A = this chain, B = another copy of it.
Amino acid sequence: MTSRYNQLKQECFEANIELNNLGLVIYTFGNVSAVDRENGIFAIKPSGVPYEKLKPEDIVILDFDNNIIEGTMRPSSDTKTHAFLYKNWSHIGGIAHTHATYSVAWAQAQRDIPIFGTTHADHLTADIPCAQPMKDSLIEGNYEHNTGIQILDCFQERGISSEEVEMVLIGNHGPFAWGKSAAKAVYNSKVLETVAHMAYLTLQINPDAPRLKDSLIKKHYERKHGKNAYYGQ
């Protein structure tokens, strides 16, 4: 099938498959999207299709107002959340949503994940925020769109940046992660799950475990992301 969006579909397809390979999803419990800023559209997994059966041509293309541009399948039920985030955060290139076990456990516990160590600080300097469940009126309304608002409100209220903190827990639901590409969003989902696992164990071993001190947070974040970063090639 020839389509101007084939490359984007392929990128989106591969990121979805990777989500499955990393053990972050079972059945259809997740979705990844990838954006094309030039054309103002994004590609997303179709709803309820198992990863083993997913094909690149099944990927659905939509604009940021949720109009289907290309594709015969119904897009992910979480599509409106993706569209809202793309519309409001022009710097992101991909979004991933999962029901990964440890991430969901913290979301269900309605607790932020404290920054306990350098694994966390290698990626972000703040606790991983858990957005509180939204008001009933918003749930009964345009729910998935409102989930986008819930995420934005959470970041605004706390004064944290979505460029630095590329992940969030939706209280009682599960994680969303994003990044410069769909692959990076999947990477961040895996980092979040790993950090969630470590933080859980840390509290079991020492319920009074202290947060990582500021000097170490700064050191580890900046050696990877600062202007004098010396990590990587």
Q: A-side interface residues toward B, CB under 8 Å?
A: 26-29, 46-49, 73-74, 77, 99, 101-102, 104-111, 116-119, 133, 136, 139-140, 143, 172-174, 187, 190-191, 194, 197-206, 209-210, 212-213, 215-216, 219, 223, 230-233
Known: A108-B116, A116-B108, A202-B109. A140 touches B174 (CB 8 A): no
A139 touches B219 (CB 8 A): yes
Q: Which residue of B lies closest to A173 (CB)?
A: B118
A110 touches B77 (CB 8 A): no
Q: Which residue of B lies closest to A224 (CB)?
A: B77
Q: How many monomers of this protein are in the complex?
A: 4
Bound complex: CA A210 to CA B111 (Å): 12
A194 touches B101 (CB 8 A): yes
Bound complex: CA A30 to CA B213 (Å): 22
Contacts of A233 in B (CB 8 A): 46-49, 73-74
A231 touches B47 (CB 8 A): yes
What's the nearest-Cβ distance from chain B to residue A150, in Å? 12
What's the nearest-Cβ distance from chain B to residue A216, in Å? 6
Bound complex: CA A164 to CA B102 (Å): 27
Bound complex: CA A29 to CA B121 (Å): 13
What's the nearest-Cβ distance from chain B to residue A45, in Å? 12
Bound complex: CA A204 to CA B201 (Å): 10
